[in-house]
Amino acid sequence: MTADAPAERPEEEPAIRLAAERDVVVELLDAGGEPDVLKLVVARYPRSSLAWAKLADATFDAEAPLDSYAYARVAYDRAMEALDAAGWDGSTTVPWSHEPNRGVLRAIYALRRAADALHETDETARLSELLNSADPTAAVEIEAAHTAPIPVQNPAPPTESIVIRGED
């Protein structure tokens, strides 16, 4: 290599970078994990794997996983559609660090968790492998988010008061 030649860089591994769903994210934050409100968000954005995955999370019950499984199955289907549209070949990474990818990764995780609760061992193993190949850190990140303490927020002080005036 001569002094004038640029240094060779290792080729960066190809990765999927999905587009942001800003409106969906804002409405999901407003929903606060409430299943009935999340259903309204899903109805407005039925193609969003993130919205479906959040609904699957909110309804998950290890003793009664059917509703969560159904929502997670739709989330997974929407995730696969988004990946296919982005040119995913099945081996390209889907990094958790790119926030818009998190809906897809959450969808895979939600379906894996519900399948596991239903004792679907083959499906659980296939989804574990898929999630790990997409991003080996995704499951740890999602589980950390599920177990993180919810921050206590102090309500805003009242901005007005009611005064009743009258005569005795």
Kindly state whether residue 8 falls inside one of the protein's structural domains.
no
Please give the structure tokens belonging to residue 95: 């990094």
| Structural domain containing residue 133 | 22-147
Kindly state whether residue 13 falls inside one of the protein's structural domains.
no
73 CB-contact burial (10 Å; exposed 0-12 / middle 13-18 / buried 19+): middle
* pLDDT tens, position by position, 116-138: 999 999 999 999 999 999 999 99
Kindly state whether residue 159 falls inside one of the protein's structural domains.
no
Count of domains for the chain: 1
Kindly state whether residue 14 falls inside one of the protein's structural domains.
no
* pLDDT tens, position by position, 37-51: 999 999 999 999 999
Kindly state whether residue 9 falls inside one of the protein's structural domains.
no
**What's the pLDDT score for residue 138?**
97
Q: Provide the pLDDT confidence category of residue 159 given band limits of 50, 70 and 90.
A: low
pTM: 0.81
* pLDDT tens, position by position, 48-80: 999 999 999 999 999 999 999 999 999 999 999
Kindly state whether residue 119 falls inside one of the protein's structural domains.
yes
CATH of the domain at 108: 1.25.40
Per mean pLDDT, which range of 22-36, 49-63, 97-111, 136-150 is the poorest? Answer: 136-150
Kindly state whether residue 86 falls inside one of the protein's structural domains.
yes
